[in-house]
Amino acid sequence: MGIGAVIGSGIFTVIGTAMAGQRFATPEVSNTPLVHYLLTHTAMAGRPGAGPALAVSLVLVAIVCVFTGLCYAELASMIPIAGSAYTYTYATLGELVAWIIGWDLILEYAFSNMSVSVGFAAHIEAMLEWFGIHFPLRWISPAYLPTGLQDLAGNDLYQPGWHFGFNIPAFLVVMVLTVILVRGIRESARTNNILVLVKIVAILAFIFAAASFVKPAYWHPFMPNGWTGMLSGGSIIFFTYIGFDSVSTAAEECKRPQRDLPFGILATLIACTLLYGGVAIVLSGIVPWQSIMGDGAPVVNALKRLSLQQGGAGLRWVELVVLIGAMLGMISSILVFQLGQARVWFAMSRDGLLPDVFSRIHAQFRTPAVATWVAGFVVGIPAGLLDIGTVSNLSNIGTLFAFVLVSIAVLILRYREPERVRAFRAPFGPVFPVLSIIFCIVLMMGLEVLTWTAFFIWLAIGLTIYFFYSRHRSEFAGMR
């Protein structure tokens, strides 16, 4: 277990939308965080950002991850095989729950990678500009821009809404990595460790280089949008912690899991929260937090602005270091999550819940080629069309819902199978699973009504497929 299991590249991409939120011309219920609408019955003109208080949002998210991670560890410790939440729930709670969580994981993996791909495209654009290369804007920006697009000076480049264009870099990075996955790739612990080190170096380079340019006036007010903004920011920034659950599945590898697992989860989350919090504090102190709304590369663009100021010329090289670290980390993240998404499609097909074509193995490369290609296009095409805020919303609600189901599964299994061997058991009886459920739902409520609506539509489509198709073809169909 280590920090590499938690630290991701999302901090370089979604911190802008978490800190600055989204702003629309008129108040609408669909663009209002659910918690705000339930408490006040009033609409907002977009989702409020956390502002400088995003550093506090990160602490809240880390606490949620502690509760959820310990629940995930208990569930994983009961199953003597490697796998995802789908595998664990299928083996313990049956087909229907497994279908729901598998369908939800497809949403989570797909929109997580869309978010990273859109962020990668923004960093590609910044890299080209660093070398003085400029491409037509319509081919390097999303077709859908709900808050429009502005340059570094705040001038409007595109009005809010749809425009003719396609984010080609976001599409291409997914498709190139899909080809690599179809041909077969083995995960290397050494390569992963190197990439993690590069990401940490990039984060530290930004923090230490930009800290001397901080203007404390930018931190006031610290919580400009109140508790709603801080909760909404936490709901979006949760994306940066996706991957922490892999720490939780190592119960079988620990000599003393009841002691080592909590320590490992807590230590890695503290380390990442300090790194992420440092980025949030410095970023909100060097540029007005409102100015990074909708920015897919807010850290790099902030460095670019500083480099134009007196005494900031040296930051051009720091910008290059951050660009390289961020882009390498994003490639690693996309590769891992595309691999994970294809495995979910493959596993569900193998269990009879999806058509057999998704579990076909390539004759030469011995990989689930069809599932991998489908996963590639499912991510690549929307990544070319949608903005970072839209896709990160759906990624977060899918992830949080999956963690709610895992925590509920722990409670159910403690009641149904109390004597079952568990290499690790979350402490304090039902307290941690219950707190995990409550906090995950609270974070989900920081997302907009529109995101909740889209999520329920996705679940409804999934349940329709299950009851009219999957349950009649699964391996348990003959037993009904």
**Is residue 238 within 8 Å of 444, Cβ to Cβ?**
no
CB atoms near residue 172 (< 10 Å): 17
Residue 52 clears pLDDT 90, i.e. is over it:
yes
Q: Is the peptide bond before 48 cis (omega within 30 degrees of 0)?
A: no
Whether residue 191 is predicted with pLDDT greater than 80 in this model: the reply is: no
**CB neighbourhood size of 16 (10 A):** 28
Q: Is the peptide bond before 136 cis (omega within 30 degrees of 0)?
A: no
More confident residue, 453 or 424: 453
Contact 323, 300 (CB under 8 A): yes
CA nearest to 339, candidates 226, 185, 199:
185
Q: Which residue has the higher pLDDT, 333 or 370?
A: 370
Q: Are 237 and 8 in contact (CB under 8 A)?
A: no
Q: pLDDT tens, 283-328?
A: 999 999 998 887 888 999 999 988 888 777 788 899 999 999 989 8
pLDDT of residue 1: 45
The pTM for the full model equals 0.86
Name residue, tokens 């977009």.
Answer: 46
pLDDT digits (tens, 9 = 90+) for 214-233: 999 999 999 999 999 999 99
Q: Which of 267-276, 281-290, 306-315, 404-413 bottoms out in mean pLDDT, i.e. has the lowest?
A: 306-315
Q: Where are the beta strands (DSSP E) in 357-452?
A: none
Q: Tell me, what amino acid is at 323?
A: L
* Residue 438 pLDDT level (bands cut at 50, 70, 90): very high
Q: What type of residue sits at position 207?
A: I
What pLDDT does residue 148 have?
74
